[in-house]
Structure 1
Amino acid sequence: MKYQTFNEKIIRLVGGKDNVQAVVHCMTRLRFTLKDRSKAQTEELKDLDGVIDVVSNNVAYQVIIGTHVNEVHGELISMLGLTSVTEENQEKAKKNPLKAVMDLLSETMTPVIEPIIASGLLAGFLSLFSITGLISADSPTYQLLDSIRSAVFFFLPIFIAMSCAKRLKASPYLAVALAAVLVSSSINDVAGLSIFGIKLPQMMYANSFIPIILAVWFMGQLTVFLNKYVPKFLQYFLNPLLIMVICLPVTLLVFGPIGIWIGDGIGWFFEVLHNTFGSWIVVMLYAALQPFLIMLGAGNFMMPLALNFVNKMGYDPIFLAAATISDIAVSGAMLGYFLRAKDAKQKQLFGTVSFSALMGVTEPAIYGAFIKFRRPFIAVMIGGGLGGLFAGLMNVKTYSIVWGLMGLPSYADNQDISNLVFMIISVVIGFVGAAIAAFVLGIPQEEQAITKNELEAEAKNQAVDLRKVPLGSVVEGKIVPLAQIKDQAFSTGALGKGIGIIPTSDQVVAPISGEVSAVFPTKHAIGLKTEQGVEVLIHMGIDTVELDGQYFDTIVKQGDKVTKGQLLSTVDFDGIKKAGYDPTVIVVITNTMDYLDVIPAAQEDIFSEDECLTVIL
């Protein structure tokens, strides 16, 4: 581990493992809950290389180490054998049940996508090789390679169990054991089974995912219950046995049937939709609107639905084909902008993101160009919608869980050549339609004007721009010198030079264009990094990490691209004050030592059009 030696010294100086009850972190510091603070060697800890300062107060024992605290904390809790409380706090912050379920499904599917894509692509190429006669479907080579595909999908419940166990507070190994039992030849699709005299329905657990997610959720709840009531000296031996003996019958009697009913319900809904309107409308809408879903962080929501279709019907009639058409339409839209653009830098941007979208990675295009120029969304709605409409009308089927240009061969599975041809036509329609629409719609005039003005300003002020980077105001209010901030880590300048603002507005905006480098789970702090390398920390309030996200509505996430003046968070500062916390917004340049100076604004009051800091390069 990168910080193992550093963490070993911290553990020793806070009084050892046995003295640490809990440890969480915010943007810059580790917050220890110690059983006995007198055992901590505070002065020695302050002198430790890598520690900026130590603050001990009624709130917590705080070790300030800087903005890389997240990496240090991750290794520290592993060495201490503790659970990440920040993860638990993040769970508490998700109060919307529907959002929590969607987040669970999305985050569960993300790590499982890797083997699924591998098996899906392999199935596509094997089908293509079989059609062209390169490999016979009856040959040992074909059957051995095809076993990769069949094994991944047969044992899908095991992958799902491993992926979601930790998030649902269950042991990953017990969750995998339960999944392995469900897909074993003794239970999977076996008729006539019974337990405790109760007859069990014949169930196919292989290839499924809903029953095991429900079962692992129950396992997590049972684990918490047993850890609370079973004596500690018996837990190691007794808890695993009780968990398995209780979870298996409950899964077979309750969660298995519920999971199958949910799957059948999803199938029934889309069957009604198909019989009423035709599935073409869903394919068309998803192909047209997928970029919006990706922008909202819901890009993976279709994966469980596609899996359910493949398990029930042997193919997906909607989502995977629509996703492929949409991705390639994004590439077409960026090609249209590439052909239309005159500025060399813009051409480079559009060409790069067009190629990445063609390969199935659309996030660079969506966050790098779509959000800024807006009209490409319309181009994809036109091109992707037309391609999706054709695919829906031709009843294009996706036989494997795969999408993107490389997955096209899979559409010829089961010797269905016409299906492959219709899919290729759909993709071409989406690509060409979006490219033409983007070229005709063009780059907004205001963006062209901005580019022109920027080039003129660069020509006139190149020498000045090379010497300084101005930061706009993050919030309107009254300026407070950093030395007066009631937090030693900031007031001493240990975390870098900066400024404090007592807010009179509830909107916190980006002081400069760049990338969101960090958003703390409790939403009270945001990190930004500019193209010049300036690292900005925006800390909203003092000790507001304890509010666990209350009063904060932060709308950006790590990795987002933001522009100067863009809204980052809406904060109820009055609520923060009523809760007894200091609402001062602190802005510091955490890599101050890399620059000649950081100069704060001189005026008392600051407004949205003002500058709060100037970084001298």
Structure 2
Amino acid sequence: MEYKEFCEQLIELVGGKENIQSVTNCMTRLRFKLKDRDAAKTEEIKELTDVIDVVSNEVAYQVIIGTQVQEIRPEMNQILGLTGENKQSETGEKEKFVTMALRVLSESMGPILIPIMAAGLLAGILSLISLTGLVSAEDSTYMILDSIRQAVFFFLPVLIAISFARNLDVNEYLAVTIALTLLSETINGVKGLDFLGLKLPETTYSNSFFPIILSIIFMKYVGKVLEKVMPKALQYFFNPVLILIITLPITLILFGPLGTYIGEGLNFVFDFVGNTFGSWSVVMLYAALQPFLITIGAGNFIIPIFMNSYATLGYDPVFTVAWIISDIAVCGAVLGYFFRSKDQKQKQLFATTAFSAFMGVTEPAIYGVFVKYRRPYLAVIIGGGLGGLFAGLMKVIGYAPVSLFGLASFIGQNNYKNFYMMIVAVIIGFVGAGIAAFILGIPDDEKVKGKSAVSVETNEEAVTKLLVKAPVKGKNVVLSNVNDKAFASSALGKGLGIEPEEDLIHAPVNGEVVSLFPTSHAIGIKTEYGVEILIHIGINTVELEGKYFESFVKQGDQVAVGDPILRADMAGIRSEGYDPVVITVITNTADYLDVLPSNDSSLSSQEDCLTVVV
């Protein structure tokens, strides 16, 4: 249990075991389905050692960790008392159909990528071995190893049945039985079949995975109906066989043709786009914009599309090419920053994230560098876009879903031109993004501190946040506990209070002094991004008529983070019987998605105390 302590901390911070409905993972992140997302302490989770970032959207509450998530997930399952893939618990809350569909699709497709990528990488290795002449394609050793790749793609419906059954709470063994039946010699691709006199269309189930997905969904509802109508004493004996004999004919009659039409429809869309705009446009756009999709947690939604291409066409004309170019462009962009930076701490960050991106895992670079400095996004748009444009114009296609290390798979069946053009496209993406990042440069730290672009809790897109510093050192006071109804009710805006341990008040942001009360007990500052901050010293201290208060600024002045703006004699205020709590609120809270106060029990001056989600 190497990650036991981390798992226990994470479980507590997402709201405890009772708040977790389900946990799944993809290559780099844990995906939580939570009963109450507000119970999750997002900012504290981000501070955990193994956490890169947190993204929350309609699909899931996602904690980005890195490739070690494969080791963390089993330990978390053990602590939660789950075996294998956990089942979603019943909460009484009805999940929207679209949200449920996106979640199940995303969570089910992720695990399937592992054997598919392994098969793709094996195909690349075999191509290299064959190219060197050490082993020919007719050699039995080659054929035995290649049978792994063939098996993965032929039995893909079985893998899909397992993954979807786990996520939909369907019996996995019944799901696999249906999948294997569809792939049997008596059904798969056989002409002239009929069921009870009804002619069945010829369907090659090994070349399409949509029928099995529809079949598993249908199986779930058949099981629910049988549980209601079948006496409990008979369910164990009769429900499994009834589920099979109901699901199989419906799949053969309805889902087989329907799934085939869906697959053909996707192919038609790409043919139409290719013939109208050129397939190069899709390759270019995806290679340029993939980091944005990863930022918002939407990277998995292309999986059904490219898997359909492999199943029906035998190759992928768009996404495999595009994501490899985009990944290497991310590496190039961060490496460009490495050569541009003179700060050793920055260089270490850029070096490690560049290496991770080179290995095909771009999340550390995207969440550690891109969302902070923002300009690398533009570098990948330039470099990745150029590489994708070249690959699209040269009509490069992928024969297996691989990473950079599987480039040899682009040879396919002696298609060396395809292989060479892909290498050129990868070089263009890498060099173009690296040069663009070097030229665009690294924003000054002060600018980054003033406005940090990060991915936060949204439904569709990444947004920005403004960090507000603590104006004074002291004990953190929850706003609702402040002894003033107007502030405690958040009627004046969300924020927090601080029991001051010093007299000097500092500017919490860069901005303009837009208001200063004559008594100097309260001051308003507006940032260049429109955030309006009110700092109010004490409860009812206006009655002191300025006694014990001194201001160092006037209305209209520009202030920078940390500048002294006011002085209040806290001991004198207390001696008069007044509460000197320093209240900081965002008066235009309604203009933003949220205002999140710090959870730290005490705050030092200039430590982050509020996060405004823009």
Check the 8 A contact 2:336/2:438 in 1, yes or no. Answer: yes
Given residue 271 of structure 2, which amino acid in structure 1 is its aligned partner?
A: E
Change (3 A) 1:227 1:116: same
Deviation sequence 1:291-316 (CA, Å, 0-9, x none): 00011111111121111111222211
Partners of 1:507 and 1:142 lie apart in 2 by 66
Deviation sequence 1:459-480 (CA, Å, 0-9, x none): xxxxxxxxxx9899898x4335
Deviation at 1:611, TM superposition (A): 7.1
Partners of 2:157 and 2:473 lie apart in 1 by 53
Given residue 424 of structure 1, which amino acid in structure 2 is its aligned partner?
A: I
Change (3 A) 1:480 1:159: farther
Change (3 A) 1:85 1:338: same
Q: Structure 2 stretches of 5 or more lacking a match? A: 3-12, 20-44, 46-72, 451-471, 499-528, 532-578, 588-596, 605-614
- TM-score scaled by length of structure 1: 0.64
Partners of 1:74 and 1:615 lie apart in 2 by 35
Partners of 1:289 and 1:392 lie apart in 2 by 15
Partners of 1:227 and 1:216 lie apart in 2 by 17
Deviation sequence 1:327-348 (CA, Å, 0-9, x none): 0000000001111111111110
Tell me which residue corresponds to 1:607.
Answer: 585
Check the 8 A contact 1:479/1:606 in 2, yes or no. Answer: no
Check the 8 A contact 1:399/1:410 in 2, yes or no. Answer: yes
Tell me which residue corresponds to 2:157.
Answer: 157
Check the 8 A contact 1:125/1:409 in 2, yes or no. Answer: yes
Partners of 1:138 and 1:419 lie apart in 2 by 23
Given residue 480 of structure 2, which amino acid in structure 1 is its aligned partner?
A: K
Tell me which residue corresponds to 1:270.
Answer: 270
Partners of 1:107 and 1:335 lie apart in 2 by 32
Tell me which residue corresponds to 1:239.
Answer: 239
Q: Secondary structure at the match of 2:481?
A: strand
Deviation at 1:29, TM superposition (A): 6.7
Deviation sequence 1:560-595 (CA, Å, 0-9, x none): xxxxx9x9xxxxxxxxxxxxxxxxxxxxxxxxxxxx
Deviation at 1:445, TM superposition (A): 3.0
Deviation sequence 1:393-447 (CA, Å, 0-9, x none): 0000101122x21111100111111111100000000000000000000011355
Deviation at 1:171, TM superposition (A): 0.8
Tell me which residue corresponds to 1:342.
Answer: 342
Cα RMSD for the two superposed structures? 3.8
Check the 8 A contact 2:88/2:167 in 1, yes or no. Answer: no
Q: Please, which of 479, 482, 491 is the counterpart of residue 481 of structure 2? A: 479
Change (3 A) 1:480 1:234: farther
Q: Please, which of 73, 85, 90 is the counterpart of residue 89 of structure 2? A: 85
Partners of 1:117 and 1:472 lie apart in 2 by 52
Tell me which residue corresponds to 2:430.
Answer: 431
Check the 8 A contact 1:473/1:608 in 2, yes or no. Answer: no
Tell me which residue corresponds to 1:550.
Answer: none
Q: Secondary structure at the match of 1:607?
A: strand
- TM-score scaled by length of structure 2: 0.64
Tell me which residue corresponds to 2:37.
Answer: none
Tell me which residue corresponds to 2:188.
Answer: 188
Change (3 A) 1:344 1:150: same
Tell me which residue corresponds to 2:172.
Answer: 172
Tell me which residue corresponds to 2:353.
Answer: 353
Tell me which residue corresponds to 2:519.
Answer: none
Check the 8 A contact 1:219/1:243 in 2, yes or no. Answer: yes
Change (3 A) 1:279 1:246: same
Q: Secondary structure at the match of 2:167?
A: coil
Mapping of residues 67-86 of structure 1, within 5 Å: 84-85=88-89
Tell me which residue corresponds to 2:15.
Answer: 27
Mapping of residues 522-541 of structure 1, within 5 Å: none
Check the 8 A contact 2:287/2:326 in 1, yes or no. Answer: yes
Partners of 1:604 and 1:449 lie apart in 2 by 27
Tell me which residue corresponds to 1:325.
Answer: 325
Tell me which residue corresponds to 1:146.
Answer: 146
Check the 8 A contact 1:263/1:308 in 2, yes or no. Answer: yes
- Paired residues, what number? 433
Partners of 1:212 and 1:393 lie apart in 2 by 35
Partners of 1:221 and 1:128 lie apart in 2 by 48
Partners of 1:167 and 1:133 lie apart in 2 by 45
Q: Secondary structure at the match of 1:167?
A: helix
Tell me which residue corresponds to 1:405.
Answer: 404
Change (3 A) 1:366 1:472: farther
Check the 8 A contact 1:472/1:612 in 2, yes or no. Answer: no
Partners of 1:89 and 1:501 lie apart in 2 by 33
Check the 8 A contact 2:211/2:255 in 1, yes or no. Answer: yes
Check the 8 A contact 1:178/1:244 in 2, yes or no. Answer: yes
Change (3 A) 1:174 1:614: same
Deviation at 1:102, TM superposition (A): 3.1
Deviation at 1:173, TM superposition (A): 1.0
Tell me which residue corresponds to 1:221.
Answer: 221
Partners of 1:340 and 1:238 lie apart in 2 by 69
Partners of 1:393 and 1:614 lie apart in 2 by 58
Mapping of residues 417-428 of structure 1, within 5 Å: 417-428=416-427
Q: Secondary structure at the match of 1:206?
A: helix
Check the 8 A contact 1:479/1:603 in 2, yes or no. Answer: no
Q: Secondary structure at the match of 2:400?
A: coil
Partners of 1:190 and 1:280 lie apart in 2 by 37
Check the 8 A contact 1:169/1:221 in 2, yes or no. Answer: no
Check the 8 A contact 2:494/2:585 in 1, yes or no. Answer: no
Deviation at 1:134, TM superposition (A): 1.6
Partners of 1:126 and 1:471 lie apart in 2 by 65
Partners of 1:606 and 1:249 lie apart in 2 by 66
Partners of 1:210 and 1:147 lie apart in 2 by 24
Q: Structure 1 stretches of 5 or more lacking a match? A: 3-24, 32-66, 452-468, 482-499, 512-564, 568-600
Deviation at 1:364, TM superposition (A): 0.3
Deviation at 1:125, TM superposition (A): 1.2
Change (3 A) 1:278 1:73: closer
Deviation sequence 1:171-217 (CA, Å, 0-9, x none): 11111111011111111111111111101111110142111110000
Give the share of equivalent positions with the same residue, in percent: 50
